[in-house]
Amino acid sequence: MEFFPKIILVLICLLFACEGNDKSKICKYKPPVAIFSGIDSFEDHSFDLKGQSSVEYISIPKMNMDIQLYQSGCDDIQQEFRFLLHEAYPLNTPPDVCAMHIAGIFYMLSQEAPQQLGLLQQWAETLKANSKSFNYNEKIVFFDSDISAQIDKIHQPESAVLSIVFYN
């Protein structure tokens, strides 16, 4: 009689152990890649990849900012750009103005390396077209798209962090 409860317990443990180590899952998307590497005007580049997640960091002295890019996802992709501005940023900035500022940053980045970052110019145009739809910390779906985004800003004493997260 005691044999069956033990065998059932062992089978349940094996089932959960196998389920947690399922490496055969095939992701729809490949692991993230660095997008800012090899651009002369960017400094202190680093890229850390762990499975389907990465974090990339650059400093852009001439734009007075640092950027962190977090990318993750297997079947759904999420990209979060964090722009650390080394200057004061108005506390009462409306979300549409913040979205336009982020669009301007994307445009400037696309001009630094058009071959490598040209797609950011399209993001800039999309942000401008959708700027009036943004509220802080609320997802919006872009017009005629299945991509959504969310913006935020964080104030620090002499700097600010503007962020945008893209979801698909």
pLDDT digits (tens, 9 = 90+) for 88-130: 898 899 999 999 999 999 999 999 999 999 999 999 999 999 9
Predicted pLDDT at 43: 94
Q: Are 42 and 36 in contact (CB under 8 A)?
A: yes
Q: Which residues does 14 contact at the CB level (< 8 Å), separation at least 6?
A: none
Of 153, 135, 60, 137, which is closest to residue 162 (Cα–Cα)? 153
pTM of structure: 0.83
Q: Are 116 and 35 in contact (CB under 8 A)?
A: yes
Distance CA 56, CA 89 (A): 24
Instruction: Please write the tens of the pLDDT for every residue from 34-77.
Output: 999 999 889 999 999 999 999 999 999 999 999 999 999 999 99
Predicted pLDDT at 7: 47
Predicted pLDDT at 11: 42
Q: How many domains does the chain have?
A: 1
Question: What's the rounded mean pLDDT across residues 121-150?
Answer: 92
HSE at residue 164, side-chain half, CA atoms within 13 A, is 24
Expressed in angstroms, the distance from the first to the final Cα of the chain is: 53
Three-class SS of residue 146?
A: coil
Residue 60 identity (one-letter amino acid) = I
Residue 9 lies in a domain: no
Residue 4 lies in a domain: no
Residue 13 lies in a domain: no
Q: Are 52 and 98 in contact (CB under 8 A)?
A: no
What residue numbers bound the domain in which 149 lies? 28-167
Residue 8 lies in a domain: no
Q: Which residues does 97 contact at the CB level (< 8 Å), separation at least 6?
A: none
